[in-house]
Structure 1
Amino acid sequence: MNKLFILTILIFMSSAFANIMAQVKFHYTQYSYNPYIINPAYAGSSEALEMVASVRKQWMGIEGAPFSQVFAAHTPIKSKNLGIGLIIANDKVGVHNNYKISTSYAYRLKFKNGHTLSMGLQGGFYQQISDYTEIIQSLPNNSDPAFNEAGSKQMKATFGTGLFYYAKNFYYGLSLLNIETKEYFDNTQAFLSAGAVFNLSNNLVLQPAILIKADKDSDLTSDISTNFIFNDVLWLGVSYRTFSSFNFLSQIQVTPQIRFGYSYDTAPKELSNNLASGGHEIMLKYRFTFYRSRVITPRYF
């Protein structure tokens, strides 16, 4: 069964990359604080049950700007090299509400050198609900042939897959999300990620990371970030998203189980001249420690 699982992932990824060319429309600044949101293979790799809630508001001051809420949870399965996870998300853009729920399954191969390769599969449903009521009410006589119906709904099944190779001080990730049953790879999003930690002193750690994002219809983009970690309690960093924004990141370890993160994205030039003031993202993570003998503290990724 393990060989079949590995073969399935490799077929998915090789087929998809033959059809993908460029930028993803998905934005998530704190990806280095929560890799599971972009890679199903991360499920269970933290060796503890983790629950993460995040809220993101882009382009403050622009009516109808993207507003996202995500809840994610993942955990290892005790005594097995397996992990499972769940994501529930809502993304509102203008009159469109995009809902997604998905579950993940990951299998991990552990090597003698302490490195681990995790392979994940994800499956779920995506629903878009469009409400044209506000547009209709703003039109003369409240009518327009293009908006004869007040709204529309559509639901699709989506799939994803990923690889996550990691050790104590570095990781590499590769994932494909939003593979659809009908359009297949038309809306697929690809993520290539890497990160590491370097001990600069007893109380200071450097954590650089990069995320390259691609889809079929846009330009290739990347997020390049650097965090400084003070006393394993406070994370402060900056990142640059090509063609888009500079971002400021922070995270604090409130207790051994609780982390709180905040980031601010500067607005793109074309929007900053239009009263947009950038974007805010907050994150709350709770980490259960059921398997105390295996949980590493602090955990950098």
Structure 2
Amino acid sequence: MKKILISILLFTVASSYSQELNVPVATQYLADNPYVLSPTYAGIGDNFRINLNGYKQWVGVTDAPQSQALYADFRILDQSGLGLSIYNDSNGYTKQAGGKLTFAHHIILGYYSKEYLSFGISYIYNSFRLDWSKFNPTDPDPDITDNRSTNNNNFEVGLLYRNKGFYASVTATNILQKNIDLATAYEPNRLTNYQLYTGYVMNIGDRTELEPSAFYQYYQSDGRSVTDLNIKYRKFNRYEDYYWVGASYRFLNDQIGKPLAVGPIVGFLKGYVSVGYSYQITLNDLAAYNSGTHSLTIGFRFLQGLSNCPCTQSPVHD
């Protein structure tokens, strides 16, 4: 019974997740890496940032989703930024790899009021493959008889508003219809999803900050949506290094009282190196079969302070 349950779950997840054309959003963005969520963050913060992320979902479940990704962004001139991300992801019988190239521009709405507006656009490339060799020969699916693969090109656009410690971004990802060369009849080709990310960095004195934030994602294909509610506490030392601790609460928006996962986040910045780790405890029916979800991000920062424009400064006290 256990194997049947897990097989059904993985097939369902693989069928729906193959529509997303990107890596799943866990809590990678909370590791001082909001570029994961929106192209508008390219070039904000330190001049050149590289973040490596490893994500392992539902540890203990065979063929559960896992991914590896690299995110890099940097400033060009004083008010623009470029970004690059590449990823490799597997989920049951499916594998996908790809990346995106980003351009963002940041403008000053109010120099003394510290109001800024940013625009971003990314070109997205995705290669999706269904591995027939992992199917059981007795699986009753006559439509799948060999390996399937397809490539897709797409775009995302975003808008970001910042006012002192407040920030809010809106992003539309996969704005073109999907190539469905390998798709079955029930697979949609309208894959646009919309994300809203907002929060506020509060200076609470004694070199400490408190940052509540929320992330909302809506999928056009089937109308589902999910929300993260987050809180981070950040403590600086006199050398401007810092550590953070916090927590995240994730739920489907039609089941607010039944969270999908909760868990702690911890991390630090020391010199030019940052490390962030998060653990999510599964709270749905799959909880009996796994030990949770892990995400680890290691970041590097180079060439700090080459731009004097305040529109490229992070709301985090650097």
TM-score past 0.5 threshold:
yes
- Residues matched between the structures, number: 271
Aligned mate of 1:270, from 253, 275, 285? 285
Structure 1: segments with no counterpart, 5+ residues: 1-23
Q: CA deviation at 1:208?
A: 0.7
Aligned mate of 2:235, from 230, 233, 247? 230
**Cα root mean square deviation, aligned:** 2.6
Question: 2:205 corresponds to which residue?
Answer: 201
| Distance change (3 Å), C-alpha of 1:114 and 1:143 | closer
**Matched ranges for 1:79-118 at <5 A:** 79=78, 81-111=79-109, 112=111, 113-118=113-118
Distance 2:74 2:307 in 1: 15
Question: 2:15 corresponds to which residue?
Answer: none
Distance 2:81 2:108 in 1: 13
Distance 2:269 2:86 in 1: 24
Q: CA deviation at 1:144?
A: 7.2
Distance 1:297 1:77 in 2: 16
The answer to whether the aligner puts 1:285 opposite 2:314 as a matched pair is: no
Aligned mate of 1:165, from 157, 161, 165? 161
Distance 2:302 2:260 in 1: 36
1:43-81 per-residue CA deviation (whole Å, 9 max, x = no partner) reads 1122511111101100011111110111111111124x2
The percentage of counterpart residues that share the same residue type is 26
Is the 8 Å Cα contact of residues 194 and 211 (structure 1) preserved in structure 2?
yes
Is the 8 Å Cα contact of residues 201 and 315 (structure 2) preserved in structure 1?
no
Distance 2:294 2:65 in 1: 11
- Report the secondary structure of 2:282's partner residue: coil
Q: CA deviation at 1:190?
A: 0.9
Is the 8 Å Cα contact of residues 156 and 180 (structure 1) preserved in structure 2?
no
1:265-288 per-residue CA deviation (whole Å, 9 max, x = no partner) reads 111321112x21110000011111
Distance 1:97 1:25 in 2: 11
Is the 8 Å Cα contact of residues 176 and 192 (structure 2) preserved in structure 1?
yes
- Report the secondary structure of 2:40's partner residue: helix
Structure 2: segments with no counterpart, 5+ residues: 1-21, 180-187, 252-258
| Distance change (3 Å), C-alpha of 1:268 and 1:168 | same
Q: CA deviation at 1:26?
A: 3.3
Which stretches of structure 1, 4 residues or longer, exceed 6 Å deviation after superposition?
Answer: none
Distance 2:137 2:189 in 1: 37
- Report the secondary structure of 2:29's partner residue: coil
Is the 8 Å Cα contact of residues 245 and 266 (structure 2) preserved in structure 1?
yes
The answer to whether the aligner puts 1:245 opposite 2:261 as a matched pair is: yes
**Matched ranges for 1:21-170 at <5 A:** 26-32=24-30, 33-79=32-78, 81-111=79-109, 112=111, 113-135=113-135, 138-139=136-137, 145-149=142-146, 151-170=147-166
